[in-house]
Amino acid sequence: MRLAKAGADSLVIFNRFYQPDFDLERLEVVPNLTLSSAWELRLPLRWVSILYGRVPVDFAITRGVHSYEDVLKSVMAGANVTMMASELLRNGVQRMGLIVQEVAQWLEDHEYHSLAQARGSMSQKNVAEPAAFERANYMKVLQSWKYDPTGVLLR
């Protein structure tokens, strides 16, 4: 909120920092690029969902976006922008055209007229169970897991 009051009109949520590694043989600091995974979307998704409608800024999600589903989840959380790098590095920039088509198809199939209509629809302030975003939901999440007799974690 202080950033918005200071004049910020948009925030990038959890930009992924690239961190160097150490080469122990040459005793040098070396670059180390580790591409993101889709599971990394969860942290920014949670925080955009919580902040949407409470902090008067536009939000950008910049990590863990790999598919049209990730784009839609981000927008439905409240993001105005999603950024995708790792997916394009892995699969080429032509992948973007397919993702745009898939987003458009999903919107049509689910009778949305635009991304703007979907924006924030799954934010904490708009979902039926807002506590799902809070730490209090921790026990409910843990109780949703089951173990089989061999000790393998099942869902």
38 contacts 90 by C-beta, under 8 angstroms:
no
61 contacts 85 by C-beta, under 8 angstroms:
no
Residue with tokens 């394009």: 88
Task: Compute the mean pLDDT over every residue in the chain, rounded to the nearest whole number.
Answer: 88
CATH superfamily placement of domain 2-126: Aldolase class I (3.20.20.70)
pTM recorded for the entire structure: 0.80
Phi, psi angles (nearest 5°) of residue 80? -90, -25
Q: Which of 77, 65, 127 is nearest to 102 (CA)?
A: 65
**123, amino acid identity:** S
pLDDT the model gives residue 139: 59
Domain ranges of the chain: 2-126
Indicate the pairing of strand 153-154 with strand 146-147: antiparallel
Angle, in degrees to the nearest 10, between helices 95-109 and 68-77: 60
pLDDT the model gives residue 15: 76
SS3 101: helix
Q: Which has more pLDDT, 25 or 133?
A: 25
Q: What is the mean pLDDT of residues 91-108?
A: 97
SS3 29: strand
